[in-house]
Amino acid sequence: MVAIGCVESAGAGPRWSRTSVVRVFEEYAGGLEDLDGYSHAFIIYQLHARKWSGSLRSQPRWAPRPLGVFATRSPDRPNPIGLSVVALESVDPSSGTLVVRGLDAAPGSPVLDVKPYDHWDSVSSPRVPRWWLERADEWPDWSPRP
């Protein structure tokens, strides 16, 4: 697996509202052609600054107890791969630049892939654990609501 680019900058604030720049390497920039027809995309990236602790349990901030790592969004996992659904603010294949909103990746993170988000990827009513919904009133004001 090779990186196709990297996160060049990440804005401040909650991830849902911050703007980031993703730079796709020149040899892959042509692959951005036609992506501008989409409003959103998946960005798959490497959590390059993380080394897995070896634990298969994680304590999410809002969970009542430690959970299996695959039931969390914790960056402490066997394969340090991150996934964000982002809004595409601009797509420039000639410079290999994506300006996106909602990326949860640090500057310098290697980008492994970009995939368009379409109506097939939308889940209208996902099932989540009861405790997740019961704790919604404790979430920060900027957090999306179910």
Task: List the domain boundaries for the chain.
Answer: 5-138
- 123 confidence band (pLDDT: 50, 70, 90): confident
Cα 43 to chain centroid, rounded: 6
Distance CA 73, CA 17 (A): 18
The domain 5-138 is classified under which CATH number: 3.90.1150.10, 2.40.30.70, 3.40.50.1970, 3.40.50.1820? 2.40.30.70
Check if the beta carbon of residue 130 is closer than 8 Å to that of residue 146.
no
CB neighbours of 108 closer than 8 A, spacing ≥ 6? 6, 7, 48, 49
Q: Could you give the percent of the chain with pLDDT greater than 70?
A: 90
pTM, two decimals, is: 0.85
What is the pLDDT of the chain when averaged over all its residues? 89
One-letter amino acid at 40 equals: H
Q: And the tokens for 24? A: 């796709």
Place of tokens 């914790």: 74
**How many Å separate Cα 16 from the centre of its chain?**
10
Q: 115 forms bridges with which residues in the sheet?
A: 42
Residue type, 125: S
Minimum mean pLDDT range among 8-12, 28-32, 85-89, 141-145 = 141-145
Is residue 113 pLDDT above 90, yes or no? yes
